[in-house]
Structure 1
Amino acid sequence: MSVPFLSTLEIRNLIERALLPDLCTCECTDGRTLDLTLQKLDDPAQKVVLNGIPLESLQSSRAIANLIGEARYLLVQGTTQHHRVSG
């Protein structure tokens, strides 16, 4: 396992701020994976949940941007989406 360049707090901050004005929360309970929940600000029923995102896969700006793009895309696709990211 490589040494992470970005802390969990930095990764969470980058993702949550990039997805504004929608409501985004990122949680890391085990220290290895990230769970992301994204809700439309004007329609809370429209929701995306991404579970099990490996933190070591989010050590570049490109990887973080891809995750943000995927979350936005899934939010536009349907009212309630649950998507599992395998690690």
Structure 2
Amino acid sequence: MISNLELRHIIESGFLPLSCSCTMNADGSLKIRVFDKDTGRVELLVTPIATSGLTSSRAIAELIGEIRNEMAARTKNFA
């Protein structure tokens, strides 16, 4: 099993060059906030994310991919 600290680090690293902060909610779920470090502009805020299914690198990579796809779709809609 992946520790919460390691899980947060992997997810936060998956959004470079943007910044990402992962916070554990009281119920054990995650809140992910992806933002531009220079401007502070929030690109996407996702909560709650159940951590029970994030037990492998593949599951974590799929989550990061889904969030990146959502961000790309939002950017495309605003362009």
TM (norm. structure 1) is 0.74
**Contact 1:46–1:75 (CA<8 Å) still a contact in 2?**
no
- Could you tell me how far apart the structure 2 residues matched to 1:37 and 1:45 are? 10
**Contact 1:33–1:54 (CA<8 Å) still a contact in 2?**
yes
**Contact 2:33–2:42 (CA<8 Å) still a contact in 1?**
no
Moved over 3 A (4+): 40-46
- Could you tell me how far apart the structure 1 residues matched to 2:52 and 2:35 are? 25
Q: CA RMSD in A?
A: 1.9
Higher relative contact order (CA 8 A, sep 6+): 1
- Could you tell me how far apart the structure 2 residues matched to 1:14 and 1:66 are? 12
Q: Percent identity between the aligned chains?
A: 35
Q: For 1:22, give the aligned amino acid.
A: L
Q: For 2:70, give the aligned amino acid.
A: L
**2:65 aligned residue:** 69
SS of alignment partner, residue 33 of structure 2: strand
Is 1:35 the counterpart of 2:36 in the alignment?
A: no
Consecutive unaligned residues in structure 1, runs of 5 or more: 80-87
TM (norm. structure 2) is 0.80
SS of alignment partner, residue 53 of structure 2: helix
The counterpart of 1:10, out of the listed 6, 9, 13, is: 6
